[in-house]
Structure 1
Amino acid sequence: MRMVAGRRVDVQRSLEAWRARLETADPARDLAAGESMGARLIVPGDIEWPTQLDDLGYARPYGLWLWGDADLRFSCLKSVSIVGSRAATAYGTHVAAEFGASLGDMGWTVVSGGAYGIDGAVHRSALGGESPTIVVLACATDIDYPLGHHDLFRLVRENGLLVSECPPGVRPTRLRFLIRNRLIAALSRGTIVVEAALRSGALNTVGHAVSLRRPVGAVPGPVTSGTSAGCHQLIRQGKAVCVTTPEEVVDLVGTIGDDLAPRRRGPVLPRDALSQVMRQVLDAVPGRGGAGPASIAVEAGVDLSTALTCLGGLAAAGYVERAGQGWRLRPGTLQ
């Protein structure tokens, strides 16, 4: 037994397992099969190899199979991973689609796992953007899994990349899904979780992002929704930043000072253009009946001369009008 990365590993058993695999391995056959279908193999040191994968240390892949027209290294220079629940709600699917489309139009490559739910919504919407989308698979690039995404993967091959550690013909397993999650986290500048239950594969991807010290964002959902409970827990624990728009995503994972999200404000009302004194006087004018200038001045906390001046200006702007008993708000004027 040896300790590797904080866990016990039976080295002898591992060597026996790998020795059994080597007996059936045929690299020349794999390369020929990949070439025949249009896939290519890249390894560390190749021009297309994304150097950020080196952050994985001992867990860095020995090579990656790529199928698609995009350049992996170039595409990942400005990339963000978006992950979430397979059993996505209509709300989660809507948010994922909005994020994928907007980020693509903003020049950001979207990375995800190609699964049903959030992954699929992100990839589909990103295909219509300016940047490619990258699908990181838990099987070979020639295996359509899930099968229902056959057409989606075909479009990704034409407008993005399918990425896998597995040579042609390898089927997915539960362990391979967990292993590939480290690649989703490492290929991008940060990871965003749209929807995730408390037990979710998306949270496994977040764990890798945190260990790599990459930014993590989470989209809040209804507090009654179990598919958002994982997102809420991440925010509460301080492991993720709350994000609600594509601009906030870019603010989180982008370059400091260059990719700031605009400050969000409520609707701008006409009265926002009034001076502070004018607003004070307007607030002192009753909506019914009427009040004299002296009463309005006292209520507003200004002198009579100022009140009269402001009332004249407010009347000209259509906020107030003279009434039999003094001044009142014009019908339809918001307080």
Structure 2
Amino acid sequence: MQMRLGQAANTGNGPIISGNTGMLAIEARGLVKRFDGTLAVDGVDLSVPQGTIYGVLGPNGAGKTTTLRMLLGIIEPDSGERRVLGHANPQDIARQIGYLPEERGLYPAMKAYEAIGFMGALRGLPQAEGRRRGRALLEEYGLGHAAERQIRQLSKGMAQQVQLLGTLVHEPRLVVLDEPFSGLDAINQGKLERLIRSLADRGATVLFSTHVIAHAERLCENVAIIAGGKVPYAGSVDTARDRIPAQVRLETSDADGPWRAALPADTSRIGNFWHFPLPESGVEPLLRALIAGNAGIRSLSIERAGLHDAFVAIAGQAAAEALTSGATDGEDGQ
């Protein structure tokens, strides 16, 4: 089943945010939200280009879910502005948006294809058409055998995939997924990654939140890092990684000699390997000095920093530890 994305939205009464928003699916400025006096989101800015896969990366409780819900108009910000698909009120274009919440839920007595059709009906799709598309989507994504089975008869992973297909059945222009990989095994995570890429290939914009850095690094060109309700970084994955110098890993046969003076002062040694940041002058002057000093180069590799290292540098060690711990927050809505 080939998705056909909806027509461009009417931009209404003009932008509430200055600048060129024509190529942005989402733009938000200064979003703030408090719950019972607790500041959950503190001045979040986001710019999500159309037709891209954009990740919101942060530990549980950082404010990811609250931010997504404000962008979608499920809850209103205490202050700040947002524009989604050219509209200041996202509810005006709800039928052009697909949303998978963090809290999963389907009627257990419904058959899989019926559940997908029902979710499409909630977005304005005629029920008969939604059920037809539901069967087609289940076939396309390898779940045709489950079409007639009740939700209660499906595994957790299969039920989650059915809910995801229900999020897509009305062919939305914008797909928002809140922790979509949660609860999926490695095989189904790989299937979901391929599905997300296919959505972008068809022209949809995909915005998803996650606390798993690997998913964001594999899928996203751009990310927003969120910690403590703030966004200390929003931009390209490459730019985030470039904040940390590439690391050189050098193996020598000689353990000492005058050539060691060419190594940077912050070099560390583990066995026969030397580790240090790539000098600003590059690797060529260093290589010349090592060769001239008969260091006996066995191997030399330059390793670019990963997104995890960038996250630590940007958000801090405590946020990184919370990210990897999988600790639950006090309020799922944050």
- TM-score for the superposition, normalised by structure 2: 0.29
Which is strand-richer, 1 or 2? 2
Normalised by the length of structure 1, the TM-score is 0.28
Kindly name which structure, 1 or 2, has the bigger radius of gyration based on alpha carbons.
Answer: 1
Q: Which has the higher contact order (CA 8 A, sep 6+)?
A: 2
Q: Normalized per residue, which structure has more helix?
A: 1
